[in-house]
Structure 1
Amino acid sequence: MTQVQLAVFARAPVAGQCKTRLIPALGAEGAAALHAQLVERTVKVAMSVAHAEVTLWTEGKADHPFFQYLACAYPVLQWRQQPEGDLGERMHQVFVAHQQPTLLMGSDCPVFTSALLTEYAALLQQHDAVIVPAEDGGYVLVGLQTPCVEIFRCVDWGSDRVMDQTRQRLCQLALRWIEPEMLWDIDRPEDMQRWADMRK
């Protein structure tokens, strides 16, 4: 199997600056702690994929103690700072930097497994794009064969229209894409029970 490029977006777990919708339920410190837990879980799953080269694209202070911990715990993990721009521009620049088929994922989907990521990598070999929609109307993973900035334009990031607008862009560009399944991520207090059930 050829080498798999996996890119993970992660924000520094700073209280009050991450998982803000969970603060009413967990408090600022609790939400940040959960975020750190999810980031490390995502990194561990990505690192377990055979033939994978994993790059953590960080937002916020690169010298945050949590990132320093990850650097020690996972020494073969690659590191890059997220570029400037809105979410679409930052995602596009990831694909530009890798310049080969790449799967880019967020760090708050606890359903990812090594088997799923391996499956998505195989599907990307047969399609221009692989996108895994999220239940909230966005998506938790996007894979591209080659960079294509138009996919990320005219999208209302953070809204429940992201996936629908992305489908429109893919159709307009006449790209071959596949949506293997719909998954969920942890953004709202009601997601916490599913997370707790998974860990039983």
Structure 2
Amino acid sequence: MLSGINAYRLSTPLYADTAYSVVEATQVESEADGTIRSRDALAWYVQDIVKHARYAEVAETWWNMRSCILGTPHGSRSSLFVNQYTGGHMRKILDALNNSGMYGPIKEWSLDMLSQKKRDKIGQTLIRTAVKNYQPSNEQFEFELHGEICKATIRDTWDDGTELSVKVQIGDIGDTDLSVTGFYYPEQNLLESSDPKGKRAIAEKFL
């Protein structure tokens, strides 16, 4: 907790069912737009992230960490707490520290830097290709797509052929390059997929 900033939980939600907490800043200077003064926010941010370097095993990317850094709700580099100028510098600082190697190898997981349309296409391409290669007698199998070996698991969710649960993974357990889950409904030829997670360079092969 920072000096001069306190948070408390209301008994009723604000603007969404999960939005309860209120932050009160009594000793914090603000920018003209009402966000925390840039130099203060950046100083607190650097002090906090550097202290974890000695114990870190991997470097987390901006896309993995921005909810923790900016607070929620947030945009690509701003929130209720910091403006785009401050958020942009926060990202530059994190990128520089990650590239220095002080946290260890960079772990890519979130693909939020890609548009929702692109994430949907990646997920649906992998799920639909897995379904095309599926044989009911073999729930776990591999297929090759765009030079990548994809490991698929498909199960008949209710054992009646109405819904298939699908998972596709590229890479090994503990060292996954790309992963997506979803459902396929044969009667309607309807497919649903989650947002894919993994490495951007691998994911973009399926666009």
TM-score (norm 2): 0.25
Whose helix proportion is higher, 1 or 2? 1
Whose strand proportion is higher, 1 or 2? 2
Question: RCO higher in 1 or 2 (8 Å CA, sep ≥ 6)?
Answer: 1
Tell which structure's C-alpha radius of gyration is larger: 2
TM-score (norm 1): 0.25
